[in-house]
A and B are shown apart, each in its own frame.
Chain A
């Protein structure tokens, strides 16, 4: 079965620190990859997505992610976090020809002012 792993369950950082959240998926062929964010009390929003092409994708609010096919990874990065980045972050994958999304367990990010 398809699966997505997010190894960091809770990350605590100070403002201006750099961020990297890990995401690995199980092998299953051609994939589309997504990062979603859920701010406190708000609904899931799309941060960024990768379908093909340049493996380094840029999303909203200064986030980026790099697809490394050989490692089945799609890690999320931000060079300098802000207090407003406090949220739950979910990595998700669907496989070519299958519209269903498989989500990781999520990473709770807490930014300390």
Chain B
């Protein structure tokens, strides 16, 4: 398995600002993923982050709003840009550490006022 950490664990932000979430894996992984989990709902994939190439975004998510970096095989960041209250959610990072099995970080709880 893999141990995944995220920073910050939670934040309260003002409308119009941006927040960058960091995700660190304790081993080298090929693929990392970013999800959003809105209160009481399931996980929705935002994008797949591959090292050395641009992230692949799912329908409904765009790079300008959710820019992603993947500078090496153990680290990724997700930025939530120009935030609005609708962006209030839990943002989760995951990684395929073992044969197509994803392990998840603890999440970042974001509240936008």
Tell me the smallest distance from the CB of B27 to a CB of chain A, in Å: 16
**Contact of A99 with B by CB under 8 A:** yes
Would you list which residues of chain A between 73 and 99 have a CB under 8 Å from chain B? 90, 94, 99
A105 touches B107 (CB 8 A): no
A36 to B1, CA, bound (A): 14
Residue of B nearest to A32 (CB): B100
State which of B42, B48, B106 has its C-beta within 8 Å of the C-beta of A99: B48
User: Among the interface residues A44, A51, A100, A102, which one has the most CB atoms of the partner chain B within 10 A?
Assistant: A44
> Chain A's nearest CB lies how many Å from the CB of B46?
11
A49→B98 CA distance, assembly (Å): 12
B101 partner, pick from A49, A100, A104, A106, beta carbons under 8 A = A49
The answer to the question of B104 belonging to the interface, with a C-beta cut-off of 8 Å to chain A, is yes
- Residues of B in contact with A (beta carbons under 8 Å apart): 1, 31, 33, 41-45, 48, 92, 94, 96, 99-107
Binding site for B on A (CB under 8 A): 32, 34, 36, 42-46, 49, 51, 90, 94, 99-106
